[in-house]
């Protein structure tokens, strides 16, 4: 075909082809420039970009890919895609690769590459395959390095877990509630304290738990918290699932967004036992203060009663038993003895007082005391005592008084009759089981009635001296019971529900000592062999009546107003050869030397001296342990002539029982 062309046509054709070739070269140059620009753009991208053949050989990687994974272009020529995939991800990546070859697109492919230095690089991205004539030519992947992000996210999750663990393991009660009061989160200590499960929490509101008597106060406090971003102190009472009242203290703060409350975060402490301990301390301080006053009053009153009872007993000696005057004297004597019971109650509060303890099993003691109180009433007692109930070291008279006080209190709560259930059982307290008592063995006594119950506002006051909701009575019964149990190193508590009754619980330390307190036979009075007795007392009326009673008993008596005078008289009589057979010393001499100090000097002079201690403080520790101080007997004021006769005759008995004259 070219042979038919003329020379001119050939030249023109050549010129045309040269022009086309030049245009094509310019176009190729432009394409090359655009290709360089695209390559520069891809290499400048922060994403990791690669393309691979259907067999997985690398065709292209951008600069970010190489920089991140550390492979050179020479390294890449020797690698395939699966060579850089973490072994733990290869199974998943093989499946994805096969799906890509089928034409699927993967918008979010999360996997892990292994860098040249061995680091694990976490990536996420999208992958697609390019086809020609339905045959896959190459696959491209555009990934983002998620390593730092993932590590941060994992660190955040770990941090959240640590804080959650911290909250869950905290002994504080932690709660988060929304502005409506509904719970969003509570920790384990909170759930265990109030007795709710995790499943129950979302259905609860704080207003479901607030004690009825605190509702108004707490609603106002909650409104203040969600209205003010500052930290608020919270002091209130929640009710546990089982009905227990839990006193809590702590702080609450509200989180705000755009000026609106989002949630309230609270950290509380269960201070129920702490409050009880504070209340116990306050009660003890009240009783101690009252005891100082009561002890002084009782001491002076007992001195007066000693004179009254002594004169009555002497008057009865000179009166015909069938005379009306004798009847009046009997009534007066009974009234004086009841007054003596009142001083014993006052002395229960006396500072430093100690019960005169003996080892005993108190089952029969309680039965005797309660049956006496309830004789003729509409109330009966049911007793449930362990057969192997441990013994206690206790003042039987004082524990009898506690039993009587509790039973009287219970019977008054059941005016139409009812049943008092008294239970006694052994109980072992472990370490830290009880905030007010040390670990050890105890007996637990429960006095339960079915009466009207005690109003909640009175519960915290019932052991206070002179508190009473009744129109009659002194209000001392429960306060005395509290002091007696406290002086026995025990604890008395109360629970009550209106309309359901009341339960008083007593814990007393048990003892392993054997009960040697056997009933004593009634002793007849006998005449004393003592002829000369020294009386030391600061109260003139007490000395006068004692002299009168001793004179009636055919004893000579001399008086001393304090220990100094008594010691001088004793030494003088001893030196003159007419010693005293017995000395009766008042324990306490205001402003002078009392019996405790005087006996030391007296025994130093004459170690054979026989001395009886006498006091209106019947529960003074010296009265309970008189032998440790050198005394050979104890005489509690007030006393009658027969009690005076008995103590003297016990210490200095007569040598003959043929006497016809006996002191009454």
Residue 620: pLDDT above 80?
no
Instruction: Give one DSSP letter per residue of 335-388, joined into a string.
Output: HHHHHHHHHHHHHTT-TT-----EEE-THHHHHHHHHHHHTTSSEEEEEEE-TT
Query: Per mean pLDDT, which range of 231-235, 306-310, 574-578, 596-600 is the poorest?
Result: 306-310
Averaged confidence pLDDT in the chain: 80
Both structure tokens of 307 = 């004179």
Mean pLDDT of 14-42: 65
Looking at per-residue pLDDT, the higher value among 664 and 636 belongs to 636
Burial code (b: 16+ CB inside 10 Å, e: under 16) for 147-167 equals beeeeeeeeeeeeeeeeeeeb
Residue 230 in 3-state DSSP? coil
Looking at per-residue pLDDT, the higher value among 581 and 274 belongs to 581
Looking at per-residue pLDDT, the higher value among 235 and 45 belongs to 235
Looking at per-residue pLDDT, the higher value among 236 and 351 belongs to 236
pLDDT at 182 (0 to 100): 92
pLDDT at 283 (0 to 100): 65
pLDDT at 471 (0 to 100): 43
Q: Residue 654 half-sphere exposure, CB side, CA atoms within 13 Å?
A: 18
Q: Bridge partners of 586?
A: 614
Query: pLDDT, tens digit, for every residue of 535-551?
Result: 999 888 889 888 988 88
pLDDT at 59 (0 to 100): 87
pLDDT at 553 (0 to 100): 85
Distance from C-alpha of 153 to C-alpha of 155, rounded to nearest angstrom: 5
Residue 661: pLDDT above 60?
no
Distance from C-alpha of 255 to C-alpha of 261, rounded to nearest angstrom: 6
Tell whether the torsion through CA atoms of 403, 406, 412 and 413 is positive or negative.
Answer: negative
Q: Which of 366, 356, 507, 339 is nearest to 438 (CA)?
A: 507
Residue 274: pLDDT above 60?
yes
Q: Which of 401, 285, 414, 291 is nearest to 347 (CA)?
A: 291
Q: Please provide residue 296's backbone torsions phi and psi, each rounded to the nearest 5 degrees.
A: -65, -40
pLDDT at 581 (0 to 100): 92
Mean pLDDT of 453-460: 79
Both structure tokens of 398 = 């004082």
pLDDT at 19 (0 to 100): 67
Tell me how far apart the terminal alpha carbons of the chain are, to the nearest angstrom.
173
Q: How many helices (H) and strands (E) does the chain have?
A: 19, 22
Both structure tokens of 579 = 């010693």
Mean pLDDT of 517-544: 70
Looking at per-residue pLDDT, the higher value among 290 and 115 belongs to 115
Q: Bridge partners of 247?
A: 237
Mean pLDDT of 518-528: 47
Query: Per mean pLDDT, which range of 30-39, 369-378, 600-609, 644-653 is the poorest?
Result: 30-39
Query: Per mean pLDDT, which range of 264-268, 368-372, 384-388 is the poorest?
Result: 368-372
Residues 6+ apart with CB under 8 A from 386: 424, 425, 426
pLDDT at 147 (0 to 100): 75
pLDDT at 467 (0 to 100): 56
Distance from C-alpha of 301 to C-alpha of 339, rounded to nearest angstrom: 9
Query: pLDDT, tens digit, for every residue of 384-427?
Result: 999 889 999 888 778 888 888 898 888 888 888 888 999 999 99
Both structure tokens of 511 = 């003892």
Residue 120: pLDDT above 70?
yes
Band of residue 534 on the pLDDT scale cut at 50, 70, 90: very high
Query: pLDDT, tens digit, for every residue of 621-643?
Result: 788 788 889 999 988 888 888 88
Residue 609: pLDDT above 90?
yes
Band of residue 522 on the pLDDT scale cut at 50, 70, 90: very low
Residues 6+ apart with CB under 8 A from 186: 173, 174, 175, 176, 196, 201
How distant, in Å, are the alpha carbons of 144, 399, 505, 612, 614 from that of 545?
111, 33, 45, 17, 14
Band of residue 156 on the pLDDT scale cut at 50, 70, 90: low
């Amino acid at each position: 075909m070219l042979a038919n062309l003329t020379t001119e046509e050939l030249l023109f054709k050549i010129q045309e082809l040269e022009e086309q070739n030049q245009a094509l070269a310019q176009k190729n140059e432009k394409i090359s420039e655009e290709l360089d620009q695209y390559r520069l753009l891809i290499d400048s991208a922060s994403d990791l970009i690669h393309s691979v053949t259907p067999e997985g050989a690398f065709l292209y990687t951008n600069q970010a890919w190489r920089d991140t994974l550390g492979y050179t272009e020479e390294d890449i020529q020797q690698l395939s895609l699966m060579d850089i995939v973490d072994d733990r991800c290869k199974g998943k990546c093989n499946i994805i690769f096969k799906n890509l070859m089928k034409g699927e697109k993967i918008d979010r492919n999360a996997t892990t590459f292994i860098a040249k230095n061995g680091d694990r690089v976490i990536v996420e991205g999208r992958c697609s395959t390019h086809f020609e004539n339905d045959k896959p030519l190459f696959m491209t992947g555009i990934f983002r390095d998620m390593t730092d992000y993932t590590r941060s996210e994992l660190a955040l999750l770990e941090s959240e877990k640590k804080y959650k663990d911290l909250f869950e393991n905290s002994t504080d009660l932690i709660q988060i509630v929304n502005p409506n009061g509904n719970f969003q989160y509570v920790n384990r200590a909170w759930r265990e304290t109030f007795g709710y499960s995790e499943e129950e929490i979302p259905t609860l509101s704080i207003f479901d738990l607030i004690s009825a008597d605190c509702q108004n106060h707490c609603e106002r406090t909650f409104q203040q918290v969600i209205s003010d971003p500052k930290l608020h102190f919270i002091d209130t009472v929640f009710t546990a699932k089982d009905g227990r009242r839990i006193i809590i203290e702590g702080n609450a703060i509200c989180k705000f967004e755009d000026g609106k409350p989002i949630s309230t975060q609270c950290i509380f402490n269960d201070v129920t036992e702490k409050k009880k301990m504070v209340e116990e301390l306050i009660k003890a301080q009240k009783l101690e203060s009252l005891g100082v006053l009561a002890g002084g009053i009782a001491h002076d009153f007992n001195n007066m009663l000693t004179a009254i009872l002594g004169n009555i007993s002497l008057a009865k000696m000179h009166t015909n038993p069938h005379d009306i005057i004798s009847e009046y004297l009997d009534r007066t004597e009974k009234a004086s003895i009841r007054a003596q019971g009142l001083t014993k109650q006052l002395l229960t509060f006396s500072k430093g007082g100690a019960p005169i303890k003996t080892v005993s099993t108190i089952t029969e003691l309680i039965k005797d005391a309660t049956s006496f109180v309830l004789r003729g009433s509409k109330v009966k007692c049911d007793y449930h005592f362990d057969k192997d109930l441990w013994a206690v070291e206790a003042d039987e008279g004082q524990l009898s008084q506690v039993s009587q006080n509790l039973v009287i209190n219970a019977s008054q709560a059941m005016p139409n009759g009812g049943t008092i259930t008294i239970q006694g059982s052994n109980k072992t307290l472990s370490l830290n089981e009880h905030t007010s008592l040390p670990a050890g063995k105890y007996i637990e006594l429960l006095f339960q009635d079915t009466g009207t119950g005690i109003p909640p506002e009175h519960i915290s006051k019932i052991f206070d001296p002179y508190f009473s909701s009744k129109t009659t009575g002194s209000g001392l019964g429960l306060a005395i019971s509290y002091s007696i149990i406290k002086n026995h190193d025990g604890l008395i508590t109360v629970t009550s529900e209106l309309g359901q009754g009341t339960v008083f619980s007593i814990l007393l330390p048990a003892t392993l000592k054997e009960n040697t307190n056997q009933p004593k036979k009634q002793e007849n009075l006998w005449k004393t062999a003592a002829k000369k007795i020294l009386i030391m007392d600061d109260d003139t009326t007490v000395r006068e009546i004692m002299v009168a009673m001793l004179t009636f008993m055919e004893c000579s008596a001399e008086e001393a107003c304090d220990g100094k005078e008594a010691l001088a008289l004793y030494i003088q009589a001893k030196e003159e050869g007419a010693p005293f057979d017995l000395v009766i010393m008042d324990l306490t001499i205001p402003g002078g030397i009392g019996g405790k100090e005087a006996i030391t000097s007296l025994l130093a002079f004459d170690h054979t001296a026989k001395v009886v201690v006498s006091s209106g403080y019947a529960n003074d520790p010296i009265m309970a342990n008189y032998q440790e101080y050198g005394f050979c007997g104890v005489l509690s004021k007030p006393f009658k002539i027969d009690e005076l006769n008995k103590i003297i005759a016990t210490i200095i008995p007569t040598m003959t029982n043929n006497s016809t004259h006996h002191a009454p």
